[in-house]
Each structure stands twice: as C-alpha cells, then as structure tokens.
C-alpha cells in the first residue's frame, strides 16, 4: 500500500497503520450495559432507559438555583449583537461568568467548582448558547474537553490540587490536538515532546485551538519518541500558555461563531515538567476519546437551545404574518416546517436529557449514546435553522442589524444558521462520527469473527474464530426473527387512557432494531474485509440507529412528563409527531441500504480526480487567493507577533 504524503517532520503512515492507531486508542471493553449498543445488535432493551432516570432532589435544586442566576446574567449582561459586530466577547462578560462560577460548573466543589451534574451543565450550556453561541463554545471547550475533564478522569491528585482550583475560577483552558495537516487521523501527529531530564521539550504547530487565543492552560497532544526508559507514543500534557516558546500566531475567523477565540499556536522548545504529563506515555488518544464520551454532549446541548429558539421565533412570526387571508402557519407548506421544528426539538431534548442523566448515574456505558446525540443533534439543528430561515423568507436571509435599521425586530435567523453549521464538524465531523459509531456498533461481530476477515491472521486463528462465530451466531440469529414488536399489546404502558398511542412506535423500534441487526450481519457476510470501505452503507446503518434511539428517548420522555403531571398530553402529541416523521426517514434509509448510487459515485469520483470532467469547470473564475492548500507547519521559532490575550 502506498505511503501517505508527509513532510520531513511528519510521520508517514499507511492506511492500515493509521487504523491500528485509532483502534488502539478506543476503549476495548464493555463493562456496563449500553442501550444503543444493544439496539444495533437487534435487542430493544427498554428497561435500560425506562422508567426515565431522574436526578436527586439536591442536585436538581442546586442546578436550578444556578440556572436562575445564569439566566439573569444572560438577559442583562450579554449583548449578542455586539459580539457579532465586533467578533469578540467583551472581557467584562467573561469576567462576569468567572464571578458566577461558570468556569467551574463541572468541577467538584472541593476544588472551588459548582459541582453541577451533566444534566444541569448541559442545561446551562443551552441557556448560554441561546444568548450567544460563541459564549457557549468558550465554556464548553474549557470544561468539556479542556483541562478539567481529562484531569478529572486521568489526573493525579497533585495535578487536580494544582490546576482544578485555577480552572474553576480564573483560568481558561483549551484542548490542542488538530494540526495543519492532521485532523481525524492522529497517527500522523507531528508535534513532538522529547524527554530531557525532568522535562519534556515541545515543538510543533496546532490549528483551530478553540479558546487558544485567551487560554491560560492548554491540554496538548504530542508525540513522545520511543527511547530507553520511555514507551513513547501520543501523550497528553498540561501546558502553561505563558511558557517561553508558546506563540499564538493567528486568531482565526469563521462564517459563524464570530466571537470564538480560536487560533494557531506554535510551540518552540517549550519546556514542560514531567509532572504535567496526564497519564502514561502513549495514552494521549485514549484520554482524548474517553474525555469526549461525555464531552460530546455539550454540542447537542447547544443544538437543543437553538431548536427552542427556532420554535419560539417560528411560532411568533407565523402567527402575525398573513398571506391569502390567514396566518402563514395555517398554510400546510409552512405548517409542516413548524411541526418538524417542534417535534424535533422535543426529541433532541429527550435524547440529551436521557444521555446526560445516564452519564450522571454511571450505570450504563454511554459512549455510543453520546456520539449519537452529537451526530443527530448537529444534523437536525442545522435542518431546523434552515427551515426557520425559509419560514422567515427574505427576512430570514437579512441580518439582524439590517432588520433593525429599517425598523423591524432584529431576529438573527441567518446568524443561527451560520453558527450551527460548525457543529457538524466540531469534535468529530458527521462522516467521522458515522465511522466511529459504526465501529462500536459492529464490535460484537468483530470480537467473535474479526479474525475471519483479517488478512494477517493464520489459518489456525481463522479456524478458531470460525468456531467461536458459529457458536455466537447460532444463538444470536434466531432471536432476530421475532420479538415483542410483533405483539399488538406490547409496551401498553405507552397507551394510557386519554392520550395518543405511543406503544405502536415502540413496537416499530423493536422490529426495526432486529431488521437493522439482520442488515448488518448480511452486509458483513457479503463484504467481509471490505466492510470498512462501505462508508455509505455504514453511515445509513448509524443514521437508522440514531433515529431509533431518538424515537425511544422521545417516548420515554413523554411518559415521564405524563406521570409527573407536566404537559403530559402535549408531550405525547409531540412524541407521536416526531416518531411518525422519524419512521418516514427510517424507511427511506432502509431502502437506501441496498438501493443507492454508491458504486456509481465512486466511479465519478475517480473521473473527477483523474481530470475527466475538467471541461465542466470551464466558464467561471476562481476568486480564491494564492497560497498552499495546507500551511507549512515545520517546527521552529515563531516569526510572528504573539496574539495571546489572557483575560483578567
């Protein structure tokens, strides 16, 4: 296999080697049950999520008290239009959040934090993100993937005692993994950390460092060379941004999140004490992925906030805007969009709250649930924002400032669409999330039959795997033939008197889960070792699983609201609408598993890259500037001004 292109300072790796690095970093074991994992295996374990788990009263009271303070701050101290115009969050806003304790929402009280649960942390992010998404991104990057979370999971007691009090009150943190030529393929990571006595010496360049421009502390992933006494490998470090040799070379600007303090950071001969290493050498990627298990929930939290805002604007606007003698909401073409926004917002909040509460209880392994929440939330939020822009018509495309200048309400619909777009890329693009979730979804198959399709395994290994697979599938496959989804009275708890019937939707989920598992098994039998190249198929498998998870969460949440006496009838209606809409999407996805243009698309791609269609590009001019596609990241001293801007 040909080597990937690489600069002299960057490792050259084959596709297989890159996959091995990623595989070594993932959690191998399943020590706790997982609703989503079982779903992909064709087992609808409703008992794992129903009755809906609830936070302890003390946690809820503490969380609600903080949300009250945070709401007042957002309403009185945050000027979102100013942040959008100046492309910067004012220092006084960030300092105000520090005074509230917002930097320490997830940090234990013994370190000076607020000690909020994942549920209330996400509610806070949804609230802040609705005031201004860049503000939500700042708090999320600091606590979800920045210094606090890796130290909470993997740090020494000394590291926690030193850094967590700072992160709780004064110091902003950032997470630095991506490089100019390294995204979701960390095997090619070029930033180095060379052992030197009691220190490591860092050299390299990091790109898209959210919070990096203003951060005081950084989590940096760097490659330690293997040597005597050093295992080597990609390793995580806590780095002081004020250290000599650290330079913020650029503050990046984007189509959305204009207040985002995101930059390019160069390390030149930066000395980092060995005491600042998080975990052992070579554990950096595992630390990053484990941190993201719950860290990814911050993005769907802000997507839920956006959905709620989209619903509010859609309701208010379509009730006053009249066309052809009646409010536009009552025209079917517009009404369908409003229904989609309302039902999807309900489902996204159900997915988020369920996943977050399961994370707090720590009874279930939620690595797939969190990934599905991130994937589904980011995709659906973009669709909702796009529909809102369409509902608003020309006003949806017009900026809030322009609307205000001509005397109308300054509704930033186009801004929300721009701001949400990055969530399909942040913390694992949709395409990468499809592959990550698909890998976990087929883990049970690979654990028993993986050696059968591994070209490097011996005949004896394959024979042993064949025997194990035979035992596993002899027990598993018959269970996919029939189930509770075919019994008319199954899940009767979800058809209470006086409410719409949700039990039929849960029976559909059970039947579809078995169908999904059968489809996966058939595909593995058909393609075997080539399965990993069938990314279109795997993506649809994951999308079906996401819809089934969302349907399950929506029904469970509706039943929770019914039993607690809070909008139960309306919740059942929204869950029914969402499940009905979702079932249409699921049926389409099932059809596209086997009837699609994947093979034809691959041929066209070869033609495009081979130059067969360059004639199609004629007749336009390219307004792009000059320069390389990927910036040079050769290690060395910085030749640019340091744009680091600590906030005090």
Per DSSP, 426 falls in state T
Q: Which pair of tokens denotes residue 16?
A: 């297989």
Helix (H, G, I), strand (E, B) or coil at 565: coil
Which ranges of 117-186 would DSSP assign to H, the alpha helix?
Answer: 118-131, 133-140, 148-154, 157-169
CA atoms within 13 A on the CB side of 371: 29
The bridge status of strand 173-176 relative to strand 217-224 is: parallel
DSSP per position, 605-628: HHHHHTTTTGGGGTT------SS-
The bridge status of strand 199-210 relative to strand 262-273 is: antiparallel
CA angle 25, 543, 479 (to 5 degrees): 85
Neighbour-count burial of 81, counting CB atoms closer than 10 A to its CB (0-12 exposed, 13-18 middle, 19+ buried): middle
Per DSSP, 547 falls in state H
- Tracing tokens 């985002």 back to the chain, one arrives at 260
Helix (H, G, I), strand (E, B) or coil at 215: coil
Tell me how far apart the alpha carbons of residues 96 and 101 are, in angstroms, rounded to a whole number: 9
Question: Is 587 tagged catalytic?
Answer: no
Tell me how far apart the alpha carbons of residues 300 and 371 are, in angstroms, rounded to a whole number: 10
Which ranges of 29-117 would DSSP assign to H, the alpha helix?
Answer: 35-40, 57-77, 80-86, 91-100
Query: Which is the catalytic residue, given 84, 281, 414, 427?
Result: 427
> Which letter, b or e, does each residue of 483-513 get, where b requires 16 or more Cβ atoms within 10 Å of its Cβ?
bebeeeebbeebebeebbebbbbbbbbbbbb
Looking at the DSSP bridge assignments, the partners of residue 180 are none
* Residue 236: C-alpha distances to residues 174, 175, 194, 220, 263 (Å): 13, 10, 13, 6, 20
Q: Which pair of tokens denotes residue 155?
A: 């740090």
The candidate with the shortest Cα–Cα distance to 415, out of 155, 137, 133, is 133
**CB atoms inside a 10 Å sphere around CB 639:** 8
DSSP per position, 177-195: --BTTBSS-GGG---EEEE
Active site residues: 427
């Amino acid at each position: 296999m040909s080597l990937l292109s690489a600069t002299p300072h960057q490792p050259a790796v084959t596709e297989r080697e890159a996959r091995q690095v990623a595989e070594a970093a993932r959690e191998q074991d399943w020590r706790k049950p997982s609703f989503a994992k079982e779903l992909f295996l064709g087992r609808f374990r409703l008992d794992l999520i129903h009755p809906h788990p609830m936070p302890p009263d003390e946690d809820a009271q503490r969380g609600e008290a903080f949300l009250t303070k945070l709401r007042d701050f957002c309403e009185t101290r945050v000027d979102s239009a100013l942040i959008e115009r100046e492309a910067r969050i004012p220092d006084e806003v960030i300092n105000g959040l520090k005074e509230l304790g917002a930097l320490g929402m997830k940090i234990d009280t013994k370190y000076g934090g607020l000690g909020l649960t994942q549920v209330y942390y996400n509610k806070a992010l949804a609230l802040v993100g609705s005031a201004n998404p860049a503000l939500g991104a700042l708090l999320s990057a600091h606590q979800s993937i920045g210094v606090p979370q890796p130290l909470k999971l993997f740090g020494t007691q000394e590291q926690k005692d030193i850094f967590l009090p700072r992160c709780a009150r004064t110091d902003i943190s950032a997470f630095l993994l991506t490089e100019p030529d390294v995204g979701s393929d960390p095997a090619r990571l070029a930033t180095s950390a060379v052992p030197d006595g009691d220190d490591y010496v860092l050299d390299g360049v990091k790109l898209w460092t959210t919070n990096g421009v203003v951060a005081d502390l950084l989590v940096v992933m760097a490659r330690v060379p293997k040597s005597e006494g050093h295992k080597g490998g990609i390793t995580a470090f806590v780095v002081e941004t004020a250290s000599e040799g650290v330079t913020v070379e650029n503050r990046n600007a984007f189509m959305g999140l204009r207040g985002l303090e995101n930059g390019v950071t160069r390390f030149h001969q930066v000395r980092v004490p060995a005491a600042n290493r998080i975990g052992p050498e070579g554990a950096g990627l595992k630390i990053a992925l484990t941190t993201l298990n719950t860290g990814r929930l911050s993005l769907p939290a802000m997507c839920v906030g956006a959905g709620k805002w989209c619903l509010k604007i859609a309701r208010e606007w379509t009730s006053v805007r009249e066309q052809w003698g009646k409010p536009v909401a009552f025209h079917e073409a517009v009404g369908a969009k409003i229904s989609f926004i309302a039902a999807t917002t309900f489902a996204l909040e159900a997915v988020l709250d369920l996943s977050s509460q399961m994370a707090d209880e720590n009874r279930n392994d939620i690595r797939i649930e969190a990934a599905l929440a991130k994937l589904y939330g980011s995709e659906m939020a973009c669709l909702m924002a796009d529909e809102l822009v369409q509902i608003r018509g020309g006003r949806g495309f017009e900026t809030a400032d322009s609307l205000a200048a001509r005397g109308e309400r300054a509704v930033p619909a186009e801004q929300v669409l721009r701001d949400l777009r990055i969530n399909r890329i942040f913390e694992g693009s949709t395409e990468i999330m499809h592959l990550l979730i698909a890998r976990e979804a087929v883990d049970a198959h690979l654990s028993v039959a993986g050696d059968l399709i591994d070209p490097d395994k011996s005949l004896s290994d394959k024979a042993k795997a064949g025997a194990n697979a035979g035992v596993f599938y002899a027990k598993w496959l018959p269970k996919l033939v029939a189930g509770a989804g075919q019994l008319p009275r199954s899940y009767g708890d979800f058809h209470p008197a006086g409410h719409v019937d949700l039990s039929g939707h849960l029976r559909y989920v059970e039947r579809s889960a078995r169908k999904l598992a059968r489809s996966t098994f058939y595909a593995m039998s058909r393609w075997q070792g080539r399965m990993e190249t069938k990314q279109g198929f795997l993506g649809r498998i994951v999308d079906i699983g996401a819809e089934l998870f969302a349907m399950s969460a929506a029904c469970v949440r509706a039943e929770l609201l019914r039993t607690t006496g809070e909008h139960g009838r309306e919740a059942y209606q929204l869950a029914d609408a969402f499940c009905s809409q979702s079932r249409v999407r699921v049926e389409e996805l099932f059809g596209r598993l086997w009837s699609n243009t994947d093979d034809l698309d691959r041929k066209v791609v070869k033609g495009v890259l081979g130059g067969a269609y360059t004639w199609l590009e004629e007749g336009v001019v390219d307004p792009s500037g000059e320069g390389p596609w990927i910036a040079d990241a050769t290690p060395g001293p910085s030749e640019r001004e340091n744009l680091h801007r600590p906030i005090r």
